[in-house]
Amino acid sequence: MELLMTTLVSGAVLGALYALMASGLSLVWTTLGVFNFAHGALMMIGAFVAWTVSEPLGLGLWVGMIAGVGAAALLGVIIEFLLVRPFYGRPNMLLITVMTTLAAMIIMEKAAQIIWGARLKQLPRLIDGDVSFFGAVFSAHEALIVLIAPMILIALWAFATKTATGRSLRAVGQNQDAAALLGINVPLTFALAFGLGAGLAGLTGVLLGGIRFVTPSLGVEPLVKAMIVVIFGGLGSLGATVGAAFVIGMAEAFLVLFVGLYWTPFMLFFGLIIVLVFRPNGLFGRA
Amino acid sequence: MTNVLNIEGIEAAYGNVTVLRGINLHVGQGESIGLFGPNGHGKTTLLRVISGLMKPTAGKVTFDGVDITAARPPVIVSKGLVQSQQGNTLFGDMGVAETLQMAAFTKPARAQAKQSLAQVYGLFPRLAERGPQKAKTLSGGERQMLSIGAALMCAPRLLLLDEPTLGLSPKLKEELAVALKEISASVPVVVVEQDVELLLSLADRLYLIEHGEVEREIGQDDAPDHQEIMEMYFGEHAG
């Protein structure tokens, strides 16, 4: 019972983290049709900036979090402007932007190494202490992530469906010409989507920084996970991405329990391939 | 009195392929006009140039005396020059009611969104019934209604309609023609259509566009008969 609870809780924590990691990637993909390989590096930048502001500058974690999210969002807008915008409308835009965002990732990782060095850093946790849940003990920080993630995702959903700006984001993702003909500023919407996606990456990075060590390669594994989640969900709506995140989080937690840490990534990718064979549009994608 | 829309010597090309070779036409105050002619001769391209979706290589477009040749689509829409595209699905994953609500995006459009919505639902009661349904699940006729409805939500002062009855059954076409007549009574339109008889019932003047040029201008008093129209489309010995 205790083991089952511990596994379920750990699955929920992973699912919440994956949902946060993937939501920004999914937002950029559905709006711009760009698969942002710099998404993980933006998480890392968010974590480092938050660390600098909260630790050496001593302004506290909450100020650090705002700074980290802001820095990542700003960098996202810059990446969109310099490395994505020049290639809109090209027939091979998807491949070009894979290369340019990959370049952005490498630049940011090397820059982080120069600026912050190779020594491991850790962000303070949002709250200290442990929480016990039906015999399963986990940190209060992780409990907070499980609570915060759905709130952020619901806020994102409300923004996308209930506000004029959010609707224009979805409209641009589905039909750029038609959106422009209604008076929507398409380039501005692109920058907004990229900035918002990057901000979400930054926030994820700050939350990750309380669990893992902050290093220049902090974002590598989360990027891969986010991609699995987005593809698994069917490259579609936010709901599908969140659903896929929790399916994968739970699957990973139980796989670690049954086949061990070593075989888990293999089994995850194997599962992804099986799902894509039978459902080429992803788990929640429509045929 | 200045013309509402003035098009002078517009030339446009896709890559090396020249599509428009110096189009001149105008829309006077309170006037509706029709554009017709064979497919692939530049009618849709002309509308794309007017709406700012495509930059012309030469020429000038003025709306209400203001040069809008280099303006971007959102600027043009907020001036009241609105286009409903050909065979357009708009936003497949968005519901009918949500699409119409969103379509009132510019400031002037938002100010009169309520009246516009009442007008759209009055013209197309079917759209009111389809409220939450996603656009991609609509029939061809309903999509066309949604596309025109969305354009009406933009508070148009001149409405560009690109083949509004394309691919519709005769019965649906008749239904839509009635709605189009009602629309053209309240807001001037520029309609691209293959059906010249329908055009004559909507517009004050017609332009025949061929090979990217205005081939002929037709007023209501020198309206061609069926035989003449066939000749315009297919050459001298048709029919």
Q: Which helix (H) or strand (E) holds B228?
A: helix B226-234
pLDDT tens for B123-136 read 888 888 888 888 88
Cβ–Cβ of A183/B78 closer than 8 Å?
yes
pTM of the model: 0.85
User: What is the least distance, in Å, from the CA of A84 to any CA of chain B?
Assistant: 20
User: What is the least distance, in Å, from the CA of A86 to any CA of chain B?
Assistant: 17
**Residue B84 resides in a domain:** no
What whole-number distance in Å separates Cα of residue A6 and Cα of residue B100? 48
Report whether A13 contacts A138 (CB < 8 A).
Answer: yes
**Residue B115 resides in a domain:** no
What whole-number distance in Å separates Cα of residue B217 and Cα of residue B213? 11
What whole-number distance in Å separates Cα of residue B200 and Cα of residue B226? 12
Does B238 have pLDDT greater than 70?
no
Contacts of A184 in chain B (CB under 8 A): 74, 105
Contacts of A174 in chain B (CB under 8 A): 90-94
Report whether A239 contacts A157 (CB < 8 A).
Answer: yes
Most confident stretch, A65-79, A238-252, B141-155: A65-79
Tell me which residue has tokens 């590598």. Answer: A220
* Mean pLDDT, rounded, of chain A: 89
Cβ–Cβ of A183/B105 closer than 8 Å?
yes
Q: Name the domain count of chain B.
A: 1
User: What is the least distance, in Å, from the CA of A237 to any CA of chain B?
Assistant: 10
- Which tokens sit at A136? 């399963």
Which of the two residues, B1 and A87, has the higher pLDDT score? A87
Residue B77's pLDDT is 92
Contacts of A180 in chain B (CB under 8 A): 52-53, 72-74
User: What is the least distance, in Å, from the CA of A179 to any CA of chain B?
Assistant: 8
Contacts of A175 in chain B (CB under 8 A): 88-92
Does A39 have pLDDT greater than 80?
yes
Residue A287's pLDDT is 44
B223, B151, B162: which is closest to B187 by C-alpha? B151
Residue B88 has its nearest CB partner, among A178, A180, A237, at: A178
**Residue B237 resides in a domain:** yes
Does B43 have pLDDT greater than 70?
yes
Report whether A275 contacts A28 (CB < 8 A).
Answer: no
**Residue B42 resides in a domain:** yes
Which of the two residues, A70 and B194, has the higher pLDDT score? A70
Report whether A94 contacts A34 (CB < 8 A).
Answer: yes
**Residue B107 resides in a domain:** no
Residue A180 has its nearest CB partner, among B53, B89, B153, at: B53
B235, B210, B199: which is closest to B19 by C-alpha? B210
Cβ–Cβ of B85/A178 closer than 8 Å?
yes
pLDDT tens for A178-230 read 899 999 999 999 999 999 999 999 999 999 998 889 999 999 989 988 888 88
Interface of A with B (CB under 8 A): 161, 164, 167-168, 170-171, 174-175, 177-185, 237
B115 contacts: CB under 8 Å, gap ≥ 6: none
**Residue B205 resides in a domain:** yes
Secondary structure of chain A in HEC code, one letter for each residue: CHHHHHHHHHHHHHHHHHHHHHHHHHHHHHHHCCCCCCHHHHHHHHHHHHHHHHCCCCCCHHHHHHHHHHHHHHHHHHHHHHHHHHHCCCCCHHHHHHHHHHHHHHHHHHHHHHHHCCCCECCCCCCCCEEEECCEEEEHHHHHHHHHHHHHHHHHHHHHHHCHHHHHHHHHHHCHHHHHHCCCCHHHHHHHHHHHHHHHHHHHHHHHCCCCCECCCCCHHHHHHHHHHHHHHCCCCHHHHHHHHHHHHHHHHHHHHHHHHHHHHHHHHHHHHHHHHHCCCCCCCCC
* Mean pLDDT, rounded, of chain B: 86
**Residue B234 resides in a domain:** yes
User: What is the least distance, in Å, from the CA of A166 to any CA of chain B?
Assistant: 10
Minimum Cα–Cα distance from A174: chain B residue: B91
Contacts of A185 in chain B (CB under 8 A): 72, 74
pLDDT tens for A130-184 read 888 777 788 888 888 898 898 999 999 999 888 989 999 999 988 888 899 999 9
Contacts of A237 in chain B (CB under 8 A): 93
Looking at residues A60-76, what average pLDDT do you find? 94
Most confident stretch, A59-73, A84-98, B100-114, B166-180: A59-73
Tell me the C-alpha to C-alpha distance, in Å, between residue A173 and each of A59, B93, B123, B132, B205: 39, 10, 29, 20, 38
Residue A175 has its nearest CB partner, among B91, B103, B106, at: B91
CATH number at residue B238: 3.40.50.300
**Residue B102 resides in a domain:** no
Residue numbers of the domain that contains B23: 1-70+190-239
Environment class of B51 (CB within 10 Å of its CB; exposed 0-12, middle 13-18, buried 19+) = buried
Looking at residues B222-239, what average pLDDT do you find? 66
